[in-house]
């Protein structure tokens, strides 16, 4: 990172009349009183900054800070720390008597509402049921895709190529739509379910009190577990008799931007494979532990299914999903996929649930590394389990996992500490779904905090949430409906098809990166976007338009880490201890 020589910039500003007072980039949901509070002001102004409370009284004087250059946006910025202000209230920044915009809230429950909205969004993603106004408000909609008669891919005339073929069907009802499309995908469900249930495992009392205003069919379940059960029920329908798990339920091609009830093309259960089976096994093994205290029969059913899926995967380790030519929906398979990380993830969860030697042996012969977490690399999810489970996995495996976790947290911390926006982000995180990488980096830092108690890691996680909620070059919250400015036109079929002005709330959009997959680069693809990436700066390559599925779509594996990050920070600031202090220093 580059620090611009402060002398030059002060001298320059003594003579330069400030032509504009840059708006501070801040966390637009505010801060908890005891949180670290870092503000970014773009520019290189040499004048001091004054913090005033809402009655205009000055509460803090801030000297002009060093000027940093942020390589990912090519901006000059100044960094201000107002952490010493801990009294709840609304504060505003002034420079040379000019108000700079974006009031700063300090309040006890700063992240409760955005946490609730992030998880309530999964209700809005429910397939196979109508959303009633008492739960969905103005985004109420009719049911679509009942999925109680889904064609098994390759059995009907169209997908088998045999004109007399007799299609086979299965019931694959319920579950969450994956993203802006109406597909339901097992691989993406795995990391999503795991991340959400981690919040319950880590802060059960906080989650018990988290009301989502959703239909409550199982009397004794907290709302969050009620919601996840809607997807677990669907996942269970995706397992074949032999234990193998289908990859997804989708139409053969993406449909139009219509409501679910109007998306009426045939839907298919598509191709059993090893990564879907292992992601299924890991997530349902974890879920069996979480739900066992509420519904033992349901928990046992999930564990049995998980072990069957593992056995199928062990028999079919090379059965990597290959997208057929006549299927153009999401593939959720990446170059070089070998399922090794999925075996490690599933083994960790199955050992945690069963204590069977077979699974522990897998971890010893196929050791985890610190890659991920993202849908294509589940290693870090396994590391979380083993690093915080010494009493289950033994000191040697747990210590090794702990070292991997802390090393990665230190690497992220170093990136953040030398970054103009103080953002713990690797260069390679600027990819499709970069905002979810920021949220997942925050979760890595939180795990380091749980293990070491070092508040620097907690502050790093705070900085990740700050970025998502407004401390970024767009000075916007990337979560629909939250913040002074937020996305208005996400790539999300229900929000487009419902003709309601406001998008469905609580959705984290994918965020900026230079993939340009949705840009009409050669002028021949007019459904794509104009070139929003001309700056060639990754942190600026974002477009708030429905055309931009590469930067402005929403997805369940992006909202899950947002909900975990905001929820865990809120839980900690409210005084909850990780796993109620169990099993950690
Ligand atoms: O892993 C490689 C990396 O090694 C390489 O350096 C980098 C260079 O760009 O590419 C990386 O692969 C990327 C991959 O995501 C993993 O990040 C691909 O470029 C990128 O195209 C791929 O994007 C995926 C996208 O579907 C297109 O396949 C996103 O991760 C994934 O979240 C997104 O998922 C879609 C579903 O298919 C359908 N439903 C909507 C959902 C969200 O957009
Ligand atoms: O809507 C689709 C989105 O969910 C996917 O992430 C994206 C990339 O696979 O594709 C979107 O669908 C577009 C399709 O790829 C090309 N024709 C236009 C579709 C809607 O934008």
Q: How does pLDDT run along the chain (585 residues), one tens digit per residue? A: 556 544 444 554 445 444 456 899 999 999 999 999 999 999 999 999 999 999 999 999 999 999 999 999 999 999 999 999 999 999 999 999 999 999 999 999 999 999 999 999 999 999 999 999 999 999 999 999 999 999 999 999 999 999 999 999 999 999 999 999 999 999 999 999 999 999 999 999 999 999 999 999 987 999 999 999 999 999 999 999 999 999 999 999 999 999 999 999 999 999 999 999 999 999 999 999 999 999 999 999 999 999 999 999 999 999 999 999 999 999 999 999 999 999 999 999 999 999 999 999 999 999 999 999 999 999 999 999 999 999 999 999 999 999 999 999 999 999 999 999 999 999 999 999 999 999 999 999 999 999 999 999 999 999 999 999 999 999 999 999 999 999 999 999 999 999 999 999 999 999 999 999 999 999 999 989 999 999 999 999 999 999 999 999 999 999 999 999 999 999 999 999 898 764 333
What atom in ligand 1 is closest to the CA of residue 431? 17
Active-site entry in 202, 491, 492, 513:
491
Query: String of b and e for 167-184 (b: at least 16 CB within 10 Å)?
Result: beebebbbbbbbbbbbbb
What atom in ligand 2 is closest to the CA of residue 178? 4
Ligand number with the minimum distance to the CA of 331: 1
95-130: per-residue pLDDT in tens?
A: 999 999 999 999 999 999 999 999 999 999 999 999
Contact at 8 Å (CB) between 548 and 491?
yes
CA 464 to CA 437: how far, in whole Å? 9
Structure tokens at 15: 């003579």
Residue 118 burial (CB count, 10 A): 28
3-class secondary structure, 407: helix
Most informative mutation of 330, 336, 493 for ligand 1 (most atoms within 8 A of CB): 330
Ligand number with the minimum distance to the CA of 323: 1
**Token pair 């505003």: residue:** 92
Burial of 12 (C-beta count, 10 Å sphere; 0-12/13-18/19+): middle
Give, using CA atoms, the residue closest to atom 9 of ligand 2: 330
For helices 340-354 and 379-387, give the axis angle rounded to 10 degrees. 30
What atom in ligand 1 is closest to the CA of residue 557? 32
Ligand 2 neighbours, Cβ below 6 Å, are 179-181, 254, 330, 527, 549, 553
Alpha-carbon torsion angle 186, 187, 188, 192, nearest 10: 90
377 is catalytic: no
What atom in ligand 1 is closest to the CA of residue 330? 37
Active-site entry in 181, 223, 337, 408:
181
Residue 270: closest CA among 323, 222, 219, 311: 323
Give pTM, 2 decimals.
0.96
544 is catalytic: yes
Residue 270 CA neighbour count, 13 Å, CB half: 29
3-state helix, strand, coil in the chain (%, to 5): 40, 15, 45
Longest dimension (CA), the chain: 84
491 is catalytic: yes
Query: String of b and e for 132-141 (b: at least 16 CB within 10 Å)?
Result: eeebbeebeb
pLDDT above 90 as % of the chain: 94
432 C-alpha to ligand 1 centroid (Å): 5
279 is catalytic: no
Contact at 8 Å (CB) between 30 and 24?
no
């Amino acid at each position: 990172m580059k620090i611009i020589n402060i002398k030059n910039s002060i001298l320059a500003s003594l003579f330069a009349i400030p032509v504009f007072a840059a708006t501070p980039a801040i966390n637009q949901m505010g801060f908890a009183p005891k949180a670290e509070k870092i503000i970014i002001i773009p520019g290189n102004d040499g004048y001091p900054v004054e913090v005033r409370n809402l009655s205009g009284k000055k509460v803090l004087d801030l000297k002009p800070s060093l000027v940093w250059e942020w390589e990912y946006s090519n901006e000059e910025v100044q960094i201000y720390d107002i952490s010493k202000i801990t009294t709840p209230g609304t504060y505003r920044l002034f420079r040379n008597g000019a108000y700079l915009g974006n009031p700063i809230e300090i309040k006890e429950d700063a992240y409760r509402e955005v946490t609730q909205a992030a998880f309530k969004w999964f209700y809005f993603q429910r397939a196979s049921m109508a959303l009633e106004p008492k739960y969905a408000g103005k985004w109420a909609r009719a049911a679509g895709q009942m999925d109680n008669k889904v064609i098994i891919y390759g059995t009907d005339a169209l997908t088998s190529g045999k004109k007399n073929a007799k299609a086979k069907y299965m019931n694959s009802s319920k579950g969450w739509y994956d993203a802006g499309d109406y597909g339901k995908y097992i691989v993406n469900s795995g990391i999503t379910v795991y991340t959400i249930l981690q919040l319950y495992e880590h802060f059960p009392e906080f989650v018990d009190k988290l009301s989502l205003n959703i239909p409550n069919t199982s009397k004794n379940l907290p709302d969050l577990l009620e919601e996840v059960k809607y997807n677990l029920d669907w996942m269970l329908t995706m397992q074949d008799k032999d234990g193998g798990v289908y990859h997804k339920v989708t139409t053969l091609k993406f449909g139009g931007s219509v409501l679910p009830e109007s998306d009426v093309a045939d839907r298919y259960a598509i191709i059993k494979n090893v990564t879907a089976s292992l992601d299924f096994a890991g997530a349902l093994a974890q879920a069996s532990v979480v739900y066992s205290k509420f519904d033992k029969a349901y928990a046992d059913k999930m564990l049995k299914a998980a072990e069957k899926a593992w056995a199928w995967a062990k028999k079919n380790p090379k059965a990597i999903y290959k997208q057929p030519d006549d299927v153009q929906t999401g593939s959720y398979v990446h170059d070089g996929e070998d399922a090794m990380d999925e075996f490690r993830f599933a083994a960790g969860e199955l050992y945690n649930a069963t204590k069977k030697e077979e699974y522990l042996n897998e971890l010893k012969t196929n050791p985890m590394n610190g890659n991920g977490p993202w849908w294509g690399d589940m290693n870090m999810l396994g590391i979380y389990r083993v690093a915080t489970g010494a009493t289950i996995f033994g000191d040697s495996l747990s210590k090794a996992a702990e070292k991997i976790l802390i090393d990665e947290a230190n690497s992220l911390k170093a990136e953040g500490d030398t970054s103009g926006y103080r953002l713990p982000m690797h260069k390679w995180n600027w990819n499709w779904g970069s905002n979810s990488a920021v949220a997942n980096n925050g979760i890595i830092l939180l795990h380091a905090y749980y293990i070491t108690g070092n508040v620097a890691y907690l502050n790093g996680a705070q900085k990740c949430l700050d970025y998502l909620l407004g401390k970024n070059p767009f000075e916007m919250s990337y979560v629909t409906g939250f913040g002074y400015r937020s996305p208005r036109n996400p790539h999300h079929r229900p929000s487009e098809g419902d003709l309601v002005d406001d998008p469905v709330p609580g959705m984290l959009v994918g965020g900026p990166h230079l993939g340009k997959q949705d840009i009409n680069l050669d002028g021949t693809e007019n459904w794509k976007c104009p070139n929003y990436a001309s700056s060639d700066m990754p942190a600026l390559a974002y477009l708030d338009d429905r055309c931009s599925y590469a930067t402005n779509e929403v997805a369940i594996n992006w909202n899950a880490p947002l909900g975990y990050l905001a929820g865990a920070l809120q839980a900690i600031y409210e005084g909850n201890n990780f796993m109620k202090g169990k099993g950690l220093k």
